[in-house]
Amino acid sequence: MTMQRALVLEKQHELALRDIDLPLEVAPGMVRISLHTVGVCGSDVHYYTHGRIGPFVVDAPMVLGHEAAGTVMEVGEGVTHLAVGDRVCMEPGIPDPNSQASRLGMYNIDPAVEFWATPPIHGVLTSEVVHPANYTFKLPDNVSFAEGAMVEPFAVGMQAATKAGIKPGDTAVVLGAGPIGTMVALAALAGGCARVIIADLAQPKLDIAAQYQGIIPVNIREKNIVSEVNALTEGWGADVVFECSGSPKAWETVIDLPRPGGCIVVVGLPVEPTVIDIASASTREIRIETVFRYAHQYARAIALIASGKVDLKPLITETFDFEESIKAFDRAVEARPSDVKLQIRMPQR
């Protein structure tokens, strides 16, 4: 164990910048990484404000942060694809490689997965971390640390687009223009959609999404989303619908949005049970897919960013110095409609 200064969630509503013992031993197959940029995720904020997410309860001090990029400082025995000095981003979930889920390629739903900043696992809002090399990805020279720290949320969008089975020229609908909804829209466009209709109640969020060619914003305070989709598709419906809001109320209209034989991908997690019109879905053979984090998406996400086909830089609203971490989290709690992604820059040697 090594004492490191970190942003620690002591308990619900209480954050502290203080020293804490964290493991830094570099075993075979591992790398030690100096953190450069860490994003503030909605789950981090939820632990701060609620102290728990479902069965995961903060009952001991925990370092926050899981969207991260940095520089390799040391490589363990057997690591050949990374070297000291490499700029990298890290996939924050570490599964059991021998679990049945991992053997089937679905390591993201391995019950034994250890995920940064998910109790009782510490996150990475600290100076250094040790991580498996197999879940550490080299950043191309034209991809910044800030973009590298955006790969984690973008991977969720990539997982959603993959599960949708998008075909070139498809029309998609995204419900919810928050950070994940916007990432899903960009992944859908990169995956072959000709256009993405994105719906939200907050106009500032829609304005940010509308910066991207191919995204059509719809303010559902002013317009009926079903009517808008029907008008844009000549009454046929969307090929794919991504539910990213997590609102149970969204399900009052979700089934009415896809075309016959279309697909609904559930990305947002409702906080309460929801009712689905199975009869309507069945008679039109609507396919329903679900998403939990991601698997095998990091390399593809990095390749898209490096190619210029996906530009995540406009989504970075503000960057805070590490010593302003508590201020950054309090800003995130405000949930300003004009904020997409807040990031924290770690001290550099």
pLDDT tens digits, one per residue of 24-57: 999 999 999 999 999 999 999 999 999 998 888 9
Q: What CATH number should be reported for the domain holding residue 119? A: 3.90.180.10
* Mean pLDDT across the chain: 95
Domain-embedded: residue 322: yes
Both structure tokens of 251: 């399900």
pLDDT (average), residues 231-248: 96
Q: State residue 54's pLDDT score.
A: 81
**Are residue 146 and residue 160 in the same domain, yes or no?**
no
Residue 124 near residue 66 (C-beta atoms within 8 A):
yes
Domain-embedded: residue 13: yes
| Cα 286 versus chain centre, distance | 26
The residue among 260, 290, 320 that closes a domain is 290
Q: Evaluate if residue 271 carries a pLDDT over 80.
A: no
Q: Evaluate if residue 275 carries a pLDDT over 90.
A: no
Domain-embedded: residue 298: no
Alpha-carbon gap, residue 7 to 324, rounded angstroms: 10
Query: Is the C-alpha dihedral spanning 232, 158, 305, 219 positive or negative?
Result: positive
Residue type, 18: R
Both structure tokens of 327: 């201020």
Alpha-carbon gap, residue 226 to 223, rounded angstroms: 9
Q: State residue 14's pLDDT score.
A: 96
Residue 266 near residue 250 (C-beta atoms within 8 A):
no
Lowest average pLDDT, out of 133-147, 243-257, 262-276, goes to 262-276
Alpha-carbon gap, residue 33 to 188, rounded angstroms: 32
pLDDT (average), residues 333-337: 94
**Are residue 129 and residue 14 in the same domain, yes or no?**
yes
Q: State residue 325's pLDDT score.
A: 97
Residue 92 near residue 104 (C-beta atoms within 8 A):
no
Q: What is the pLDDT of residues 112-126, one digit of tens each?
A: 999 999 999 999 999
Q: What CATH number should be reported for the domain holding residue 167? A: 3.40.50.720
Q: Helices marked H in the chain — which ranges? A: 42-50, 100-103, 145-148, 151-164, 179-190, 203-209, 225-232, 278-283, 298-307, 325-334
**Are residue 131 and residue 81 in the same domain, yes or no?**
yes
Residue with tokens 């619908």: 241
Residue 9 near residue 297 (C-beta atoms within 8 A):
no
Percent of the chain at pLDDT exceeding 90: 92
Q: How confident is the model at residue 302 (pLDDT cuts 50, 70, 90)?
A: very high
Q: Nearest CA to 309 among 184, 187, 196?
A: 187
Q: Nearest CA to 173 among 269, 230, 264, 242?
A: 242
Lowest average pLDDT, out of 54-58, 184-188, 312-316, 341-345, goes to 54-58
**Are residue 74 and residue 47 in the same domain, yes or no?**
yes
Alpha-carbon gap, residue 154 to 293, rounded angstroms: 10
Domain-embedded: residue 297: no
Residue 68 near residue 35 (C-beta atoms within 8 A):
yes
**Are residue 137 and residue 166 in the same domain, yes or no?**
no
**Are residue 244 and residue 279 in the same domain, yes or no?**
yes
Query: Is the C-alpha dihedral spanning 25, 30, 35, 38 positive or negative?
Result: negative
> Under 8 Å CB-to-CB from 141, ≥6 apart: which residues?
none
pLDDT (average), residues 259-272: 91
Alpha-carbon gap, residue 313 to 171, rounded angstroms: 25
**Are residue 70 and residue 13 in the same domain, yes or no?**
yes
Q: State residue 270's pLDDT score.
A: 80
For the entire predicted model, the pTM comes to: 0.95
Q: State residue 27's pLDDT score.
A: 97
Domain that holds residue 73: 2-150+312-345
Q: How confident is the model at residue 269 (pLDDT cuts 50, 70, 90)?
A: confident
**Are residue 168 and residue 131 in the same domain, yes or no?**
no
Look at the chain and report how many structural domains it folds into. 2
H/E segment holding residue 185? helix 179-190
**Main-chain dihedrals φ then ψ at residue 189, nearest 5 degrees:** -65, -45
Q: What is the pLDDT of residues 203-218, one digit of tens each?
A: 999 999 999 999 999 9
For residues 36-67, b (16+ Cβ closer than 10 Å) or e, as one string? bbbbbbebbbebbeebebeebebeebbbbbbb
Q: State residue 272's pLDDT score.
A: 77
Q: State residue 18's pLDDT score.
A: 97
Q: What angle do CA 33, 333, 319 make, to 5 degrees?
A: 45
Domain-embedded: residue 6: yes
